[in-house]
Structure 1
Amino acid sequence: MQFEHLGARPRIHPSAVIAPTAVISGDVTIGPDTQVLHGAVITAEGGPITIGASVIVMENALIRASAIDPVHIGDHVLVGPMVSISGAVIGDEVFLATGTRIFNGARIGTGSEVRINGVVHLRTVLPENTMVPIGWVAVGNPLLILPPDQHERIWEAQKELDFTGYVFGLDRETPDLMTQLTERYGRSLARHSADRQID
């Protein structure tokens, strides 16, 4: 299904194959010979999404751009099942295995690999040909790649990246943080009420 969102429509190359249960919404450009499989959601929430040539977006993957962080996915990238990409730049020939999570402002270099359930955190930069092991967390710039049992070290690096400030414009110490966050984000998402299905 394709939707016009905020006046922008998806632009899909004629050789791309989009499953009938995939959702493509807003300012999305999909290149030649790309495959988007069942249940995938590609939604431009105020910022553009550009997907290159010969990309495979597998079942139930989520690709989301924001006004602050557009998404760019290079050529010959495999986005595995249940991968989540939010506002990131992905180089050419990257493999994102099942269940990986890529956060806002992240940059993944050409030829890199994020293995099953790996995480690339907010504003983290993976140089070319970097590998994140199964379930591990990549965080920061300069880059740290840590196992999930090293929560304190991950949090120490992550805290400086300021997730709530960067993504939502709110200070983590705000007394009613979740009230403000959900109300603000809800107003932004409510813009979908005017979306129009175009296929």
Structure 2
Amino acid sequence: MDGVSIIDFNGKTPRIDPSAFIAPGCRIIGDVEIGPEASIWYNCVLRGDVNFIRVGARSNVQDGTVIHCDSGNDGKGGHPTIIGEDCLIGHMAMVHGTLLKDRGFIGLGAITMDGTVIESGGMLAAGGMLTPGKTIAANEMWGGRPARLMRTLTDEQVAGNLMGVAHYRQLAKAHAVAVRAG
């Protein structure tokens, strides 16, 4: 993986499925696991140094996103970051100590903080900031700073988000070919 930093930390080595696409410029550190057909786009940082990070099958983490976790210095054990299957995380998001369940969506430039949960089909809109301990229920869309419930997504809107996941899976295959040829 040319141009990618895979760094062992405190005896933990990142584990990346061979079918995942990891773009040049990424930094993947410590206790990080990336599942089948997932894609981590250009210049992302996934730092599993104080807790763990998991990225599920077919999920995509778009360009410039930072994913970290909470160490639990508050005596409560901390919060890993767990990204389920078929999730979409937009460009320049910051995801910290969050549980993003299967088919969840985090928009461009959005921020999630320690102990947040986005249920299946839930969405944090572009630029939103989900403050510590908040939960977005299934098929809800939250937005703003701090984020609040905006509306319930229709079945068509949830399906549209899943089409975005499928699009990124195909796009990752094309980029993998271009990177190898580069």
Shared fold by TM > 0.5? yes
Other-structure match for 1:32: 36
The answer to whether the 8 Å contact 1:49/1:72 transfers is yes
1:109 aligns with 2:113: no
Greater C-alpha radius of gyration: 1
> Offset at 1:78?
0.8
C-alpha RMSD over aligned residues: 1.3
Q: Residue type matched to 2:25 in 1? A: T
Does residue 61 of structure 1 match 2:65? yes
Determine if the alignment matches structure 1 residue 125 to structure 2 residue 135: yes
Structure 1 alignment gaps of length 5 or more? 139-143, 147-199
Matches within 5 A, 1:32-181: 32-67=36-71, 68-133=78-143, 135-138=144-147, 144-145=148-149
Cα distance in 2 between the residues matched to 1:116 and 1:77: 15
Cα pair 1:6 1:46 within 8 Å, conserved: no
Gaps of 5+ in 2: 72-77, 151-182
Residues of 2 paired with 1:119 and 1:130: CA distance? 15
- Alpha-carbon distance in 1 for matches of 2:97, 2:106: 15
What secondary structure sits across from 1:44 in the alignment? strand
Contact kept? 1:44, 1:64, Cα under 8 Å: yes
Q: Distance in 1 between matches of 2:33 and 2:130?
A: 24
TM-score relative to the length of structure 1 = 0.67
CA shift digits 1:59-98 (9 cap, x unpaired): 1001001231111100111111110000110011112110
SS in 1 for 2:64: coil
Aligned residues: 140
Q: Residue 121 of structure 1: CA displacement?
A: 0.7
What amino acid sits opposite 1:4 in the alignment? D
TM-score when normalising by structure 2 = 0.74
Aligned partner of 1:5 among 9, 14, 29: 9
Residue 128 of structure 1, CA deviation: 1.1
- Name the one with the larger strand percent: 2
| Deviation, structure 1 residue 145 | 3.6
Q: Is the 8 A contact 1:44 1:66 kept in 2?
A: no
Deviation at 1:45, TM superposition (A): 2.5
Q: Percent of pairs identical after alignment?
A: 29
